[in-house]
Structure 1
Amino acid sequence: MSLSDLRPVPADQLTFRLPRKFEDVAEERRHRQERLVAALRLFGRFGFEEGVAGHITARDPEHPDHFWVNPFGMSFKHVKVSDLILVNHDGQVVEGRYHVNEAAFAIHSQVHQARPDVVAAAHSHSVYGKALSSLGRLLEPITQDVCAFYQDHALFDDYTGVVTDLEEGKRIAAALGGNKAVILRNHGLLTVGESVDAAAWWFITMERSCQVQLLAQAAGEVVPITHENALLTREQIGNDVVAWINFQPLYDQITKSDPDLFD
């Protein structure tokens, strides 16, 4: 076949993934659990662990005031679907055999309560997120990727110790507001999304954006993207469908290398 013989493949014959719609609640629950564990494994692979700190939650599709979360004290790299625990609005484990991280309940319960649009939330003590948080600054529009967060993230400008009080969780949720992310001063990052995939992707790319900002500002004077172009770029790459799409190659990688996560 010569190049002159080539013809475009019809668009309806090309594969392109988009978020699934579910009619069966059990199927949707299993889907969220699998994505949650895949995200946790990726966080472990990317070095986002700091001892027992860090958690990702997914709202249960049948009981919206309950959420699935990784067990307290288990490495992100080892979590399986069968290890996940379901926590109710009182912080009690109603499914599973492990304890819940007290900070996970204090923070995530209030975020989920304040944001009914949010399916998942991610928080960990990643290195560059912690470093930027110690400066008490927001991310600046200095790269295309970080523009996803332009005027769509906030700063929780306080630190009072490990979060174990629901009132502190409420304050974090209030600082988050309607944004996709919040920087917790002297603590780290928290991201949310309409899917586990989106919340996890926002965290991953936010952590990398923190790294880039710290490197760039240490190297010299940074040239920012203009307000108008930063807003335009956010409209192009800052929605949860785009985040979901960006997460899919990572999901494919981790499920191929770690098939035991489905156990």
Structure 2
Amino acid sequence: MPSSETTPSRKDTVSPEEWQLRVDLAAAYRLVAHFGWDELVFTHISARIPGKEHHFLINPYGMMFDEITASSLVRIDQHGHKVNADDNDVNPAGFTIHSAVHAVREDAQCVMHTHTTEGVAVSTLEDGLQPLSQQSLFPLSNLAYHDYEGVALREDEKARLQADLGMNNFMILRNHGLLTTGESIADAFLGMYILQKACEVQLQAMATGQKLVRIDDSILAGIQQQASTVTRGLGGKLAWPGLLRRLDRIDDSFRT
């Protein structure tokens, strides 16, 4: 069973760039746990390591999200197989969705996937995410849907998922969950934060049983026309440093 306490430090064995990537990715895992978006040891956040090898970082199988550290993250190839023999094992099947996105989206350094109650609930609604809040406008500016095809293990599903995602940064996987991509780990995380919040607001509003006021289509159209600017840098330069400070106050072991 993998354990952060028995994982040797990787800081002196990787480049400074990879180490910073590891710290940020470990922080993202801890933040997912902090906000209650994790599902035991399931779901994943992946990050592309710069370089021609097309390697990625992902969580070791069996480690809780609030246990992830920079050193415990596993370097894998594009097929989901670990590169370093002494690393903890991973779940190759868990990388299926991520590998599909990374294969066609060079701009997506990070891919985040969650199974939150609110995200799955909205994914079951025929009309999906609705323009009911300011938070919903950002995902709706470039939101894709992918129909459920069973547990995502089949190679032939990748092409359909890739086609459905296109160049969007937000995706609702029908009857399954949420997915975001970003040019940085911070951007993918902030995208997920906004998408998750939009789902939470929608469900609470629907639960009142009262008639809902939708945001005017003209406002949504304006946001969609500006999608390349309103969804770029979703707070990475502002919110991310503060989130790291919050983690440091709670438990800074993610940096080890």
TM-score, length-scaled by structure 1: 0.83
* 1:97 aligned residue: 87
* 1:44 aligned residue: 33
How far apart are residue 233 of structure 1 and its match? 4.7
* 1:156 aligned residue: 146
Change over 3 Å in CA distance of 1:104–1:137 after alignment to 2: farther
Q: What SS is found at the alignment partner of 2:15?
A: helix
Q: Following the alignment from structure 1 to structure 2, what is the Cα–Cα distance between the partners of residues 115 and 64?
A: 16
1:187 to 150, 173, 176: 176
1:64-90: CA deviations, max 9, x gaps? 621101111110000001100011023
* 2:231 aligned residue: 239
1:107 to 76, 83, 97: 97
Q: Is the 8 A contact 1:111 1:170 kept in 2?
A: no
Q: Following the alignment from structure 1 to structure 2, what is the Cα–Cα distance between the partners of residues 143 and 68?
A: 34
Range that drifts further, 135-144 or 123-132: 135-144
How far apart are residue 240 of structure 1 and its match? 2.8
Q: Following the alignment from structure 1 to structure 2, what is the Cα–Cα distance between the partners of residues 143 and 64?
A: 42
Q: Is the 8 A contact 2:144 2:172 kept in 1?
A: yes
How far apart are residue 91 of structure 1 and its match? 2.2
- Does residue 262 (structure 1) correspond to residue 255 (structure 2)? The answer is yes
Aligned-CA RMSD value: 2.0
* 1:7 aligned residue: none
Q: Is the 8 A contact 2:40 2:65 kept in 1?
A: no
Q: Is the 8 A contact 1:137 1:155 kept in 2?
A: no
How far apart are residue 131 of structure 1 and its match? 0.9
User: What fraction of aligned residue pairs are identical, expressed as a percent?
Assistant: 34
How far apart are residue 231 of structure 1 and its match? 4.0
Which structure: larger Rg? Answer: 1
Change over 3 Å in CA distance of 1:258–1:169 after alignment to 2: farther
Q: What SS is found at the alignment partner of 1:86?
A: strand
Q: What SS is found at the alignment partner of 2:111?
A: strand
- Does residue 117 (structure 1) correspond to residue 107 (structure 2)? The answer is yes
Q: Following the alignment from structure 1 to structure 2, what is the Cα–Cα distance between the partners of residues 128 and 176?
A: 21
1:214 to 183, 203, 214: 203
TM-score, length-scaled by structure 2: 0.86
Change over 3 Å in CA distance of 1:63–1:104 after alignment to 2: farther
- Consecutive unaligned residues of structure 1, counting only runs of 5 or more, are 1-24
Q: What SS is found at the alignment partner of 2:144?
A: strand
- Consecutive unaligned residues of structure 2, counting only runs of 5 or more, are 1-13
1:76 to 58, 65, 69: 65
How far apart are residue 248 of structure 1 and its match? 3.2
Q: Is the 8 A contact 1:40 1:77 kept in 2?
A: yes
How far apart are residue 132 of structure 1 and its match? 0.8
Aligned length, in residue pairs: 238
